[in-house]
Structure 1
Amino acid sequence: MDNQKKKGGVVALILVVLVVLAAVLILPKIYKKYLKANSKVSGKAYLYIPTNATYQQVLDSLDKNELLIDQSSFLSLAKDRQLSTKFKPGKYPFVKGMNNRQIVNMLIAGNQEPVDVSFRNIRLKENFAALASKKLEFDSSSFIHLLDSADFVAKYGFTKDNVYTMFIPNSYQMYWNISAKDFFERMNKEYRTFWTDERKNKAKEIGLSPQEVTILASIVDAEALMDKEMPTIAGLYLNRLNKGIKLEADPTVIFANNDFSIRRVLNRHLRKDSPYNTYMYKGLPPGPIMMPSIAAIDAVLNHENHNYIYMCAKEDFSGYHNFSDNIKDHQANAKRFQKALNERNIKK
């Protein structure tokens, strides 16, 4: 009986020793694999996984950007979790203290960090495409291809000329790997949200479509250095439209000539044959000459009612304008401004 007790005690002791040894040998490996911090960054860094990236590209990016302290423990857990077939594209934040379990779960779940995309007062759609492609994954050419597709933009109620009116300047959050088409649709959703019934009714009251309001707003924005003048300038151009008078807006001539260094519009500039040259053609141009601000759009919708049909920059170069309702006063204003240009030797 005593021998059996002794044997039982020995077996129990051996089991305890084995358990202790297992704990000593295995638990650190488990801790290292699952719970030990494995993010090498001291603050915050990002892993970008492009659409259609291979698993090897993901691993190469982790290595190239030095995001992991110990790659072997990460690879072990990644293999167990089948990360090679489950990772998702996107922009992923790495912060100090992250462990393998958190990193692998993030890449499998697609828990990426959204990107802030802000834009305003961008002159050309090509400039806009370039800006968007710097913030997001898609390249600018794929986005321009959509904007230049008459069939595509027609589905949303636009033409190739006026589709740029769809983009409402603001700050938006979206995922880095959004496609060019999904980005366009997101912007169309924002456009429809912006054009409330109140705004659409105001546009209808002045006899313009939302696209036409934005086209006019682009001219107003280009003319007005001071936001407070926008409603006055908008009212002036609406007066000219309603009277069938050419808008004769210098910014449209500059746009038509595709020379944005022009400071003084000359007769040779006015001879440029373009639908955007409002000295040559009546009515609004076919599209905007820049991305107007929300303030400019609302200035058109809430324009000032007056009789002005002429405007000229003030000769003090303050950024403000002299307004008039007759040609005599306008010519006097223009003469003073031309004299000021000559005195400053501004020839072009």
Structure 2
Amino acid sequence: MWRSLASNMLSVLAVGMFLCAGLILWGKSQYTDAGPLESAICLRVERGSNMSKVSKKLEEQGAVTSGAIFRLGADYSDKASRLKAGSFLVVEGASMEAIVDEITRGGASTCGTEIVYRIGVTRSQTLIRELDPVTQKFVELASFNPAEGDAPEAYAEKRAEPDTRYRIAMAEGVTSWQVVEALKAMDVLKGDVADIPKEGLLAPDSYEVTPGTMRTAVLAEMQEKQELLVNAIWEGRPDGLPLESAEEMLVLASIIEKETGVPEERRQVASVFVNRLNQGMKLQTDPTVIYGITKGRSILGRGLRRSELRRITPWNTYLINGLPPTPIANPGKASLEAAVNPDETDFVFFVADGTGGHAFAETLQEHNRNVAKWREIEAQRNNN
């Protein structure tokens, strides 16, 4: 009898252990396998939230099949205490394991609202946009120019949300004065700027900031990035260039940056200036003359006058030999690379061709024909 009872108990225990193991395997597969979410969502985790609240929200949005398994998995992987506040992209079919990893790894939010402060050559703009989780593309909610009026309500509303991200996007070819003035207008930043950085020493790029970031810290990051870039490109330059230092490369790159907005033309434009330097010709480039007038503190907004072309300044390359003494803007990586890797051409002239690009020439006669065509295009535009 006792043997039979013991045998039955062992059988029941074995079955129980088998069922328990099966349940664990089933729970693990539920946690690691693809989830039921049919379309991507943006999951917002409030400050002070916990896995219980998050799992309930995920159940309501159809992202997980079981909030209990989601919480157990987070506890078992020792991630429940690492929950981060923010807005997180949960993609279609995301597993519970992937969702837990997304909301506990740290770093910036991966969806939600982004405020972008764009520093452009002709104007600055603040853009409020939100990521559409389905298309994973940003949708513009509002935009404004701080210099032209009050901010829209959407700006204040999104500023009040704790998980809004902030980014400064600096375009190629802006001057250091423009950068400082734009930073002063950004109310997300703090602190005064005592001195304007020297021209050319700020890297056009994208910079993540948080409310309260010091303006001087942003400028320091821009300068550090540009210094590293300039040094790396100068170290990798080929032999035979008419440039004696990284500073001269920076000057040439800034002129290239201001002369063309067509990426494919940069090396051709660079070849013209390198050929002129090699032949002892004056550079004769309008952007340097303009810089001599504005010092980078305003937009000229009109064509140059003959009197200005004859005005003596250190930057008037119609009068001086060689390069001007300083850069005339902050060049980007592509223009820096073009300065030391120009195309191999015999071009020494170029003029606008009416398409946004330029017509290049090896001889003055050919150049004069290109100039005549450009003047015809200008005349037609003025008559329309």
**TM-score calculated relative to the size of structure 1:** 0.55
Question: Is residue 341 from structure 1 mapped to residue 341 from structure 2 by the alignment?
Answer: no
Distance 1:307 1:226 in 2: 12
**Pair member with larger Rg:** 1
Residues 160, 38 of structure 1: alpha-carbon distance in 2 compared, 3 angstrom cutoff: farther
The answer on whether the counterparts of 1:77 and 1:101 sit within 8 Å (CA) in structure 2 is: yes
Where in structure 2 are the equivalents of 1:129-278 lying within 5 Å?
Answer: 138-140=165-167, 148=183, 159=197, 161-164=199-202, 166-167=203-204, 187=225, 191=229, 194-199=232-237, 202=241, 204-205=243-244, 208-222=247-261, 226=265, 229-235=268-274, 238=277, 243=282, 247-249=285-287, 257=299, 265=303
Please report how far the alpha carbon of residue 13 of structure 1 lies from its aligned counterpart in structure 2 after TM superposition.
Answer: 0.5
Distance 2:77 2:357 in 1: 66
Please report how far the alpha carbon of residue 216 of structure 1 lies from its aligned counterpart in structure 2 after TM superposition.
Answer: 1.9
Q: Which runs of 5+ in 2 are unaligned?
A: 112-118, 132-137, 139-163, 171-178, 185-190
Give the AA of the match of 1:341: E
Per the alignment, in what secondary structure is the counterpart of residue 195 of structure 1?
Answer: helix
Distance 1:300 1:280 in 2: 20
The answer on whether the counterparts of 1:162 and 1:211 sit within 8 Å (CA) in structure 2 is: yes
Question: Is residue 12 from structure 1 mapped to residue 40 from structure 2 by the alignment?
Answer: no
What per-residue deviation string (whole Å, max 9, x for no partner) do you get for residues 176-202 of structure 1? x9x996986995586267424132975
Per the alignment, in what secondary structure is the counterpart of residue 65 of structure 2?
Answer: coil
Distance 1:27 1:210 in 2: 69
Higher strand share: 2
Per the alignment, in what secondary structure is the counterpart of residue 381 of structure 2?
Answer: coil
Q: Higher relative contact order by CA 8 Å / sep ≥ 6: 1 or 2?
A: 1
The sequence identity of aligned pairs, in percent, is 10
**Aligned equivalent of 1:35:** 29
What per-residue deviation string (whole Å, max 9, x for no partner) do you get for residues 74-122 of structure 1? 1233245553422468967756473x4565466556699x99xxxxxx9
Corresponding pairs, count: 304
Higher helix share: 1
Per the alignment, in what secondary structure is the counterpart of residue 205 of structure 1?
Answer: coil
**TM-score calculated relative to the size of structure 2:** 0.51
Distance 1:251 1:257 in 2: 13
Give the AA of the match of 1:340: I
Aligned equivalent of 1:71, options 67, 73, 78: 67
Give the AA of the match of 2:166: D
Distance 2:357 2:222 in 1: 39
Per the alignment, in what secondary structure is the counterpart of residue 345 of structure 1?
Answer: helix
The answer on whether the counterparts of 2:255 and 2:287 sit within 8 Å (CA) in structure 1 is: no
Residues 208, 148 of structure 1: alpha-carbon distance in 2 compared, 3 angstrom cutoff: same
Distance 2:317 2:353 in 1: 21
The answer on whether the counterparts of 2:353 and 2:374 sit within 8 Å (CA) in structure 1 is: yes
Distance 1:192 1:285 in 2: 15
Q: Which runs of 5+ in 1 are unaligned?
A: 1-5, 116-121, 170-174
Give the AA of the match of 2:29: L
